[in-house]
Structures are given as C-alpha cells and as structure tokens.
C-alpha cells in the first residue's frame, strides 16, 4: 500500500458506502466548482504552486473584500470573562492587519528571503482543511463543521469562542473575536468568549458553483481546486519536477507540504525549495516579527514569543503565523482507539456468552447457593 494512503483513507470507501445506506446522507449535494462539478460529492483539494506566486496579495485583498464584512463588530464594552485571567481578544480596531491571521483576515502571505537559487518565496497561508480535522472532531458543540466536499468551517451562530479548535489545530489557525456571537445571550462572563473565525474556502460561493475568491483573483494561477485524487497526483508531479530542478530527483516529498501533515490535508503546497528550508526561514522571520511587535502587543502573548524558550514554536504559531514543519497526525490515537470501541462490546458479549455452556451455569449455581445461604442466615 502506498505510504500516502492511510488506513483511514483505505477504510473510508467501505465505511462511507455503509454509512451512505445507514445515514441516508441527509444533506443535499453541494454544487461544486469548475472541474469538480463533474465529480459531485467528491472531496475537493487545492494545490498551491509556490514557484508561481509573486506575492502581490491579490488573493488576500479579494478574501478581505468578500468576507471581512461578514465578521461582526463586537458589543462595547466587551464583557470581561470570569475569571479575569481569560483574555478579551478584540481585533475590531485593527481590521487593517493583513500580515497574519486575525478574525478579520482569513488569509495572508508570507514573504521569505532565501539564500540559493531561489532568492524569494511567497506563501499564501490559511486553513489547511484537514481530511480528519481535529477542530471538527473535538468541538464539543458541533460548531466546527466539515462538508462533504472537504471544506472545514465554523458556524458563527453556534460557536461560543472557547478556542478549543485553535488549541487542537496543529497550526493554530482559528482566531477569536470576543464580544460577538451566541455567548452574549447565554452566560457572557462565565462561559464562552466570542466566536472563532477562519477560512471557509468560500463555501457560500463554492456552493453556488463559483470559484473561491483567492483562486479567482490570482493573476498567476498559483492555486487550483479539484477532486482530491486528481489534485494529489498533480501536486506529486509538480513536486517531482521541483525536486529534479533543485538537483534532488526522487526527493519529491521534501517539496510537498500538506499531503501527510496531520494525517493529510486538502491544501497541498509545492515549493521550489525543500520545506525544511522554508520552515527554518519562516521560524527566523516569525521570531523577528514577534520581537518587533512585542512592545506594542504586550499582554497578548507575543511578548512571550519574543523571549524564546520552551514552547517557542507553539507561541509563534499562536500568534497567527503558522509554521510549515512536519506535523504528526494529531488524530492518530482517536483513530486507533475507535478500533478499541468497536471491539469492546464484542469482547464483552463473547466473555458473557463464552460462559454459556460451562462458566455461566456454574456462576448461576454459585450465586444461587450464596443467596440460599444468605436467606437461611436471615431466617435464623
């Protein structure tokens, strides 16, 4: 079995078939964009060919123009959560920030300067839309959702802003805006703290058969979207070309990001330089940015990021600029433990029924004898 086909992926076909019959697939099929329309119901995947990106940020502008108005302004004053150590996160006065992820900015572009043949690289960053997203699987309220076409999005009418999705996301993508959302109508000081926002890959547009704005606006055609299987093949071919061009034929995995990260994502990056080098450069850049921003942003955690030490990578990522290092499958344990859940009742039944022809009768007789002894004791 090829390495990039996980057990989950292998099982998915059979389970989905059974589930389709059992669940009746209550949701209607989405109208899918472009080439994917022919493959209705398929998981869609995007491929970003970073060699083409010139860093013009047309994608960012298009995304902001379309979606920033959909993020509400908070009530003022924003209720102070209890206990007081729970931070209010308010980006409403900094909607212009577009060099990182914020609740009002779902997409930004990293501008890297590198040494070697490729001297600069521009990387659009947003939600990776994982195949088995921990944000969705672990959201206790069903606010984080995954559509059949692979889009992972957050329902802002349901989200309470607990930020669990951000904690469990390996890239800490979702961003919180306090003072908005359902929690204001429930227990605004005791539970919840706003709403989490992130890229939803233009779900409302994609549902109408349109392209995501970032793809539509790109003058360089950096990004493409289509059925996952086709896109994976395309990304692999591009990565093989990139590896060969870099003098490392056969090492294509080093030039592809998102295929195996966190068990697989529906955002595949192909780079002309190895991602280990990209990630190292990103790390340096993020430390610089954190240092510059620390005085102005003291109290939002970025001051800590500038200091380094334990958990530096995590703190940098928490600051809305995700790294591109290797990411183990965070859902591996739940995937394995699902097997334990499936086996447990069978084992229990087998243990009970296994005693049928000997042990169970013996047990019944022993218990009956005990009862009789107890009854005699009670009578005497």
Partner 1 sequence: MSAHDHSPGGRAASWTYGLAIGLALFSGMAQLPIMKRYYIADLPGMAWAADFFATSDLHYLAAALLLMMLAWRLALDGRLAGLSWSWGPRTWWGWGLLGLLALTGAAKAARNWGLYLPPTTMLVLDLTHLMAAMAFMVTGLVSLVMGRKEPTRAGMAEGL
For residue 44, give the 3-state DSSP assignment.
strand
Indicate whether 277 belongs to the interface with partner 1 (CB under 8 A).
Answer: no
Which of 54, 65, 75, 347 is in the footprint of partner 1 by CB under 8 A? Answer: 347
Among 2, 140, 247, 309, the residue binding partner 1 under the rule CB under 8 A is 140
- Candidate list 5, 186, 237, 353; residue touching partner 1; CB under 8 A: 353
> What are the strands, taking DSSP E only, across 20-179?
44-49, 108-113, 120-125, 144-146, 152-154, 175-177
Q: Which stretch binds partner 1 (CB under 8 A): 212-220, 277-285, 318-326, 372-380?
A: 372-380
Alpha helices in 82-178 (DSSP H): 134-138, 164-168
Dihedral sign computed on CA atoms, order 154, 161, 315, 262: negative
What kind and span of H or E run contains 179?
A: none
Whether residue 268 contacts residue 257, with contact meaning beta carbons closer than 8 Å, is answered with: yes
> Terminal CA-to-CA distance of the chain, rounded, Å?
72
Nearest to 64 by CA among 33, 109, 34: 109
Number of alpha helices (DSSP H) and beta strands (DSSP E) in the chain: 12, 10
Question: Tokens 């966190």 identify what position?
Answer: 262
Q: Of 137, 211, 241, 279, which one interacts with partner 1 (CB under 8 A)?
A: 137
Q: Is 9 a residue that touches partner 1 (CB under 8 A)?
A: yes
372 lies in the binding site for partner 1 (CB under 8 A): no
Work out which of 1, 21, 296, 346 binds partner 1, going by CB under 8 A.
Answer: 346
x/- mask, partner 1, residues 142-161, rule CB under 8 A, reads: x--xxxx------x--x---
Site string for partner 1, 11-30 (x = CB under 8 A): xxx-xx--x---x-xxx---
* Candidate list 98, 156, 304, 330; residue touching partner 1; CB under 8 A: 330
**Taking Cα atoms as reference points, which of 76, 262, 71, 79 lies closest to residue 176?**
71
Q: For residues 126 and 202, what is the distance between their CA atoms, to the nearest angstrom?
A: 12
**Residue 298 lies near partner 1 (rule: CB under 8 A):** no
Pick between residue 94 and residue 370 the one whose CB is nearest to partner 1: 370
Buried b or exposed e, range 337-369, using 16+ CB within 10 angstroms:
eeeeeeeeeeeeeeeeeeeeeeeeeeeeeeeee
* Contact flag: residue 362 with partner 1 (CB under 8 A): no
Rule CB under 8 A: say whether 187 interacts with partner 1. Answer: no
Does 317 help bind partner 1 (rule: CB under 8 A)? Answer: no
CB of 85 to partner 1, least distance (A): 8
List the one residue from 62, 107, 118, 139 that touches partner 1 (CB under 8 A): 139
In the shown chain, the binding pattern of residues 191 to 230 toward partner 1, with x for contact by CB under 8 A and - for none, equals x---------------------------------------
Q: Is 288 in the site for partner 1 (CB under 8 A)?
A: no
Name which of 66, 73, 111 is nearest 91 in CA terms. Answer: 73
Q: Which position has the token pair 């990182």?
A: 100
Q: What sign for the dihedral angle of Cα 264, 267, 271, 273?
A: negative
Q: Which residues contact 43 (CB under 8 A, 6 or more apart)?
A: 131, 148, 149, 150, 227, 228, 266
Q: Using the minimum distance from each CB to partner 1, give the nearer residue, 13 or 69.
A: 13
If binding is defined by CB under 8 A, does position 52 make contact with partner 1? no
* Residue of 71, 118, 128, 163 interacting with partner 1 (CB under 8 A): 163
Query: Which residues are near partner 1 by CB under 8 A?
Result: 8-9, 11-13, 15-16, 19, 23, 25-27, 81, 83, 86, 132, 134, 136-142, 145-148, 155, 158, 162-164, 167-168, 191, 330-331, 333-335, 337-338, 340-341, 343-349, 351-353, 355-356, 360-361, 363-364, 367, 370-371, 373-374, 377
């Amino acid at each position: 079995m090829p390495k990039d086909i996980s057990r989950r992926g292998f099982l998915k076909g059979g389970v989905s078939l059974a589930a389709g019959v059992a669940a009746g697939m209550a949701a209607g099929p989405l109208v899918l964009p472009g080439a994917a329309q022919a493959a209705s119901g398929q998981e869609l995947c995007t491929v970003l060919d970073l060699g083409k990106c010139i860093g013009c940020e047309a994608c960012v502008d298009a995304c902001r123009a379309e979606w920033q108005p959909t993020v509400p302004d908070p009530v003022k004053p924003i209720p102070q959560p209890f206990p007081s150590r729970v931070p209010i996160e308010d980006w409403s006065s900094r909607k212009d920030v577009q060099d990182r992820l914020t609740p009002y900015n779902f997409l930004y572009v990293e501008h890297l300067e590198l040494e070697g043949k490729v001297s600069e690289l521009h990387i659009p960053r947003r939600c990776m839309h994982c195949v088995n997203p921990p944000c969705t699987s672990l959201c206790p309220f069903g606010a984080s959702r995954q559509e059949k076409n692979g889009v992972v999005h957050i329902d802002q009418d349901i989200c309470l802003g607990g930020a669990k999705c951000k904690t469990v996301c390996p890239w800490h993508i979702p961003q919180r805006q306090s003072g908005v959302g359902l929690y204001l109508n429930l227990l605004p000081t005791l539970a919840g703290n706003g709403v989490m926002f992130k890229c939803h890959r233009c779900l409302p547009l994609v549902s109408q058969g349109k392209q995501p704005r970032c793809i539509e606006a790109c003058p360089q055609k950096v990004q493409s979207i289509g059925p996952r299987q086709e896109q994976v093949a395309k990304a692999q071919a591009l990565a093989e070309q990139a590896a060969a061009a870099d003098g490392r034929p056969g090492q294509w995995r080093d030039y592809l990001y998102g295929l195996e990260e966190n068990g697989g994502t529906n955002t595949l990056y192909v780079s002309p330089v190895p991602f280990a080098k990209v990630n190292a450069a990103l790390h340096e850049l993020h430390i610089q940015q954190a240092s510059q921003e620390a005085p102005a942003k003291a109290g939002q955690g970025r001051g800590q990021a500038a200091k380094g030490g334990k958990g530096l990578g995590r703190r940098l990522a928490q600051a809305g600029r995700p790294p591109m290092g290797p990411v183990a499958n965070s859902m591996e344990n739940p995937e394995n433990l699902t097997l334990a859940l499936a086996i447990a009742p069978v084992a229990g039944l087998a243990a009970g029924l296994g005693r049928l022809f000997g042990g169970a009768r013996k047990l019944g007789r022993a218990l009956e004898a005990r009862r009789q002894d107890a009854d005699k004791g009670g009578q005497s």
